[in-house]
Amino acid sequence: MARPPQDPARQLERAHRILDAAAELILRWGYDKTTIDDIARQAGVAKGTIYLHWKTRDALFVALLRRERVATLDEVRQADPRTVRELVRALSAGLLRRPLMRAVLLDDSEVLGRLTRVKLDRPISADGFDRFFGELREHGAIRPELSLGEDIVILSSVIYGFLMIAHHTPPDYRLPDDRLAELLADTAHRALDPGRPVDGEHAAAVARATQDYAELASVLAQRKLDDSLKGA
């Protein structure tokens, strides 16, 4: 006799409970030492139940990291950024609050182990990036002499550098996450700033472009998470 179909809402709730357990364990032990058995015990489900959601351990952890990415980008969108400085501040604050996202960005093998060899979604979405920066340049919001590649190198270097140095700063000199996010955003702004004010219609266009980019990044991240939860 066939088993009756399960309530999709209950399946999704169970999937998130499993991901919650996986997040706790990977941060405690690292990916390589965290087994499906460990996750099942932590989540209070049978081992076979996990395989109803994801066929492999890697697939489960990809779903977990996609969920973290969605949470980060949702916060960026909700912050309603209207300038590059505001966008970078919201993003960096979200990354600093989420150790798994920092681990992905920095390829932290201590946390991610061999999962660093899997193609993971980066916290900073490249989708729509060229259009976004093209609009910023069109409205005089970033240095006109820089190419898109140079824009990306500068922005990535600032974000990676600040997040990496936070792990190596002597304890007496470590800054609160909010202050670190402010300094990161200010540095990115200074590196890309054209040196003249943007106002009027141009400022309004920059605000719309920034909001649109934040919305697009959030929507696309949610779609990828949904793909990872289809079996849930």
Q: What is the pLDDT of residue 210?
A: 96
**Mean pLDDT of each 10-residue bin along the chain, 232 residues long:** 62 93 94 94 94 92 93 95 96 92 86 80 73 94 93 92 86 92 96 93 96 94 91 57
116 exposure class (CB count in 10 Å sphere: 0-12, 13-18, 19+): middle
Q: Distance between CA 141 and CA 199 in Å, rounded?
A: 10
Q: What is the pLDDT of residue 125?
A: 64
Q: Distance between CA 12 and CA 178 in Å, rounded?
A: 33
Q: Distance between CA 43 and CA 48 in Å, rounded?
A: 12
| pTM flag (> 0.75) | yes
